[in-house]
Structure 1
Amino acid sequence: MGKPILEVNNLRVSFKMFAGEVQAVRGVSFTVNKGEVLAIVGESGCGKSVTAQSIMRLIPSPPSVIKKGSSILFDGQTEIVKLTESQMENVRGNDIGMIFQDPMTSLNPTMTIGSQITEGILKHTKATKAEAMQRAAELLTLVGMSNAQERLLQYPHELSGGMRQRVMIALSLACNPKLLIADEPTTALDVTIQAQIIDLMRDIQKKTDTSIILITHDLGVVAEMAHKVIVMYAGKVVERGTLQDIFYDPKHPYTWGLLRSVPRLDSNKENELVSIPGSPPDLYAPPVGCAFAARCPYAMKVCQEIDPEHFDVGEGHTAACWLNHKDAPQVELPVGIGRGAHG
C-alpha cells in the first residue's frame, strides 16, 4: 500500500437542534492509504454516513458543526475542514468521488445519463463536449453496461436499479478521483445485483488503484472488498484492524455481536443468529463511560464510569474495551467468534 491519501484526526461533528446538541461523531481518527479499501461498519445511527459526508463537506451547516480540533487532511496537503464552499467544489468529483445509497434520488430525473456524467468532466477538465461524451461512453462500458451510446441518451427512470447504480459508479469515476467514498452502495439492490456491483467495484479498484472508503453494515460486502476495517459505535471508533484482525481475532464485544448477527454458510444449530439486545445510546447526552456498556454482557463497574482508551492488541489492531486491560478478567468468547470460526 502507498502513502496516506486521507488522514482523519479527532473528527467531531455535532448537530445543534432545538432540544440540544446531538454529538453524531465523537473524536474519530483513521488513515486511508493509496490503493487501499477501508470499510467503516456499525449499526444504523453510529455515525458512519455523517463521517463520510463530513469528508465531502455535504452535511448542511447549520444545523451541523465540525468542531474545532477536527482535521481531514487530503493527499498530505489539503485541509478539507478549512476550505471554502467554492474550493470544496473543485475537490468534489475531481479529487474525491462519492457513490450514494439510493441512485434513484441521487440522479437528476430531468437530465439524460450522458448530461449527468459529462457535467463533471466539462467542469473539471478541458475536454470538449464530444470528448466528454466519448469519455462518458467509455465509463459506461467500464461499469459493464451494454449499448453505451444509447444509454447516454436515456433518463434515470428508463433504467433498472442495478443499471442506475452502475451509472452512479461511472459518474463518481468520471474525473479519475484519487479517493472514492461508497456509502452503502448495495443497500437498495437485490442480492444478485449486489454481488455484481461488489465484483464491479473490486475490479475497478484493481484497474485504477483508487482508494475506497466503504460505508456499510453488511459484513459480507466487507469480507469481499476491504483491506482494513474500523468498527463504529455511538459516534466513536471502538475497534480498528485489518480484515483478518476483525473477522478472525476481534477484541471488542460489539464486534463479536456484529459478527454473530451475520448468517454463515457453515452454520449449524449451535451457530444461530444472535441479535444485540437493547439499542444505541441517545447522543444528546452520551454516557460517561463506555457507550456500549448498557448492552454488553461483559460490562464491569469501570465500564460504567470511565470511557476506555484504545488498547493495542496486535500490530495496527486496537480495541476500546476494558477487557483488553492487563488486569481484566479472562472471558470466554461466544460460540463462532475467534480464529477458525469464519474460515
Structure 2
Amino acid sequence: MMSIKDNLLEVKDLRVSFQTYAGEVQAVRGVSFSLKKGEVLAIVGESGCGKSVTAQTLMRLIPTPPSYIKSGSILFDGKMDITKLSNKQMEKIRGSEIGMIFQDPMTSLNPTMKVGDQITEGLIKHEGLRKKAAMEKAIEILKLVGINSPEGRIHQYPHELSGGMRQRVMIAIALACSPKLLIADEPTTALDVTIQAQIIDLMKTISEKTDSSIILITHDLGVVADMARRVVVMYAGKIVEQGTVDEIFYDPQHPYTWGLLRSVPRLDTNSNDELVPIPGTPPDLFAPPKGCAFAARCPYAMNHCLEEDPEHTTLSETHSSACWLLHPDAPKVERPVGVGGHQHV
C-alpha cells in the first residue's frame, strides 16, 4: 500500500466561487481527493458539476475576479500549496510541472503562430533551450504523439491540420517540458469516434512511457473505463462517490452514479434496451439545497435527504460514497437492473 508520500497531488476541502451581479455561485463546494504518482484519475459528472472549474483551479487558470478560492489547499509534489502561490510563481509551474490539454484545440492553439513555435515556447522559457535545440526537441515530441512528417508539420499553422492532428499538437505542447502532472479537460469531445480511440491510446502510452500522472476530466464513461485507475464522481460542486474503476462500474453505491451508468449504452446488454436519462436538472448553485443536492432528482430520496447533507461513508480503502441509503437505519433498496452487480445496498 502506498503512503501519503507517494501522492503527487492532495486536494483538501477546496471551495471555489464566482461573484456575479446576481450573487455568489458556489461552483466547487468542499472537494477533497488525492492523486498518486503515475496514476490516471478520472473526474466525471454532468456539465456544470464543477469538474472543469476544479481542473482549472489546479492550474490557477480561472479568472480572478470574478472567481476566488474561498478555502482549502492544493498540495503539489508534497512541497507547495498552489492556492498560496503568486501569479509569477504559477507561471514557472504551468507547462514545466503541470501541463494541460484543453478540450477544443482550435480555440486553444494560437492561429497566428506556427505549430513548432507554439511547442518551443515552453522549452525556451522553462528549459532555457536555444531555438534550434528547441525545434529539434519539438520534432521528437511530435513523433512521440504520432504525427507523421513532423519536420514539415512544425512549419504549418493550426488551420492547416486536421482536428485529430491539432489535438495531438495540444498534447505535444503539454508534454514538451515533461511535466509531472497532465490535466486533460475533455480531450476527445470535439473528435470523431475513430480519432477519439487513437487519442485515448496515445494518452495511455504516454502515461506508461513517461510515468506522468493524469487527471482526466470527462463525461464519457467509455473513456474512463479505458484509461483510468480511479474515478471521482462529482455532482453540484461536490464529490458524491469515488473509488477504483471496478468499484464504480461494478459496485456503485450512489443513486447519481447509477443514473450516469444507466444513461450510457452498454455492449453487454440487449441493443434494443432504452437508455434511461436522469430526470430533472441540477440544482441552482446560487442557493444550493441544505440537504443532499441530488435529492430532488433521486427516486430513493427520504425526508432526511432534504434536510441534511450526508457525510462520506467509507466502503473500502479506496471506495467512499455520500448517500443516506448507506446509513444502517436506512431502508434497503435494490440497484436498477443493468447497474453493477444488481445487489442490495
Q: Could you say which TM-score interval applies, normalised by the shorter chain?
A: over 0.9
Give the Cα–Cα distance (whole angstroms) in 2 for the partners of residues 284 and 126 of structure 1.
Answer: 46
Aligned partners of 2:335 and 2:342 also within 8 Å: no
Question: Which runs of structure 2 are paired with 1:221-240 in the superposition (5 Å)?
Answer: 221-240=223-242
2:58 alignment partner in structure 1: 55
Letter in 2 for 1:236: K
Residue 30 (1) aligns with residue 33 (2): yes
Query: Hey, which bits of structure 1, 4+ residues long, moved more than 2 A?
Result: 269-272
What is the TM-score when the length of structure 1 is the normalising length?
0.97
2:47 alignment partner in structure 1: 44
Letter in 2 for 1:118: T
Residue 12 (1) aligns with residue 33 (2): no
Letter in 1 for 2:23: G
- Aligned counterpart for 1:272 among listed residues 257, 271, 274: 274
What's the CA shift for 1:205? Answer: 0.5
Give the Cα–Cα distance (whole angstroms) in 2 for the partners of residues 269 and 58 of structure 1.
Answer: 42
Instruction: Give structure 2 stretches of 5+ with no counterpart.
Output: none
Aligned partners of 1:271 and 1:335 also within 8 Å: no
Letter in 1 for 2:62: I
Give the Cα–Cα distance (whole angstroms) in 1 for the partners of residues 33 and 42 of structure 2.
Answer: 11
Give the Cα–Cα distance (whole angstroms) in 2 for the partners of residues 269 and 152 of structure 1.
Answer: 45
Deviation sequence 1:95-154 (CA, Å, 0-9, x none): 000000100000000000000000000000122211100110000000000100100000
1:72 alignment partner in structure 2: 74
What's the CA shift for 1:313? Answer: 1.6
2:299 alignment partner in structure 1: 297
Superposition RMSD on alpha carbons, in Å?
Answer: 1.2
Question: Which runs of structure 2 are paired with 1:129-140 in the superposition (5 Å)?
Answer: 129-140=131-142
2:219 alignment partner in structure 1: 217
Instruction: Give structure 1 stretches of 5+ with no counterpart.
Output: none
Letter in 1 for 2:21: F
Aligned partners of 2:336 and 2:342 also within 8 Å: no
- Aligned counterpart for 2:85 among listed residues 77, 83, 86: 83
Letter in 1 for 2:175: L
1:252 alignment partner in structure 2: 254
What is the TM-score when the length of structure 2 is the normalising length?
0.97
Aligned partners of 1:290 and 1:308 also within 8 Å: yes
What's the CA shift for 1:267? Answer: 2.0
**Against the structure 1 CA distance between its residues 270 and 329, is the aligned structure 2 distance closer, same or farther, given a 3 Å change threshold?**
farther
Query: Percent of counterpart pairs with the same letter?
Result: 71
Deviation sequence 1:46-77 (CA, Å, 0-9, x none): 00000000000000000001013x10010001
Give the Cα–Cα distance (whole angstroms) in 1 for the partners of residues 73 and 58 of structure 2.
Answer: 10
Give the Cα–Cα distance (whole angstroms) in 1 for the partners of residues 273 and 334 of structure 2.
Answer: 16
Aligned partners of 1:271 and 1:336 also within 8 Å: no
